[in-house]
Amino acid sequence: MTGNTRIPATEITGVYGAVVKLAVRRMIGEVPESVGVMWHSPKVFKDLMSIGMKSEKWHALDANLASLARMAAAAEVGCSFCLDYNYFVAHNSGLDVDKAREVPRWRESDVFTPLERRVMEYAAAMCQTPLAVTDELSDALLAELGPAALLELAAKVSLMNATARMNIALGIRSEQYADACGLPPLAARSADVGAAA
């Protein structure tokens, strides 16, 4: 991806920068160019990472459902970095990577349960403009998940929607994490399912 971003990456410096580089290398094996892009404002980087890490401590929503929701939101918006990174994270977290690989074409794929489909439908509907979440879909998920998990689902999708849109606006694209760890490629989204934002 080097050089394709709309803001060029800068050197990650200082004591906090050294800690960030060490932590990121432990998590994903390398420091992605996107960290250098975000390093133009370490405060913005720190605050965004903080809310992301805090959201990983929420556990009302099943981890596989949360992963599918995040990836469905990323697919709806069209963020290749988010899709690739979350596929990599699903693999490293022991989640169902066969299902994660199918998320970009979840509407056509037969690997998902009805609940998983509703969760991804909700994620996709939240990322559309105007918002397309219906009372019927919300009621069905409320009955199946309960209020805490539905609230968490909405919050996780909102965070992914914001992150994905920011990445696209900044020109941040996939850095091929899935390839680097030997995962099969993500399924391609069907052409007839509408263009990503």
Residues 6+ apart with CB under 8 A from 180: 29, 88
Are 79 and 170 in the same domain? Answer: yes
Q: Which domain does 25 fall in, by range?
A: 1-57
Are 50 and 71 in the same domain? Answer: no
Cα angle: 30, vertex 64, 94; to 5 degrees: 50
Considering only the C-alpha atoms of the chain, give the largest distance between any 2 of them, rounded to a whole number of Å: 51
DSSP string, 34-67: HHHHHTTSHHHHHHHHHHHHHHTT--SS-HHHHH
Answer whether residue 196 is part of any domain. no
Mean pLDDT across the chain: 91
pLDDT of residue 195: 43
Sign of CA dihedral 66, 69, 71, 77: negative
pLDDT of residue 60: 98
Are 148 and 163 in the same domain? Answer: yes
Separation between Cα atoms, residue 1 and residue 171, nearest integer Å:
10
pLDDT of residue 197: 38
Residue 185 pLDDT class (50, 70, 90 cuts)? confident
Total of domains in the chain: 2
SS3 content of the chain, % helix, strand, coil (to 5): 65, 0, 35
pLDDT of residue 92: 84
pLDDT of residue 164: 96
Eight-class DSSP state of 186? P
Separation between Cα atoms, residue 72 and residue 105, nearest integer Å:
9
Are 103 and 154 in the same domain? Answer: yes
Residue 189 pLDDT class (50, 70, 90 cuts)? confident
Answer whether residue 130 is part of any domain. yes
pLDDT of residue 153: 98
Answer whether residue 195 is part of any domain. no
Is the model more confident about 1 or about 90?
90
Q: Do residues 108 and 20 make contact, with C-beta atoms less than 8 angstroms apart?
A: no
pLDDT digits (tens, 9 = 90+) for 89-131: 888 888 898 899 999 999 999 999 999 999 999 999 999 999 9
pLDDT digits (tens, 9 = 90+) for 28-73: 888 999 999 999 999 999 999 999 999 999 999 999 999 999 999 9
Are 17 and 95 in the same domain? Answer: no
Are 39 and 98 in the same domain? Answer: no
* 40 phi-psi bin (left φ>0, alpha ψ -120 to 50, beta other): alpha
Are 80 and 40 in the same domain? Answer: no
**Does the pLDDT value for residue 179 go beyond 90?**
no
Q: Do residues 155 and 58 make contact, with C-beta atoms less than 8 angstroms apart?
A: yes
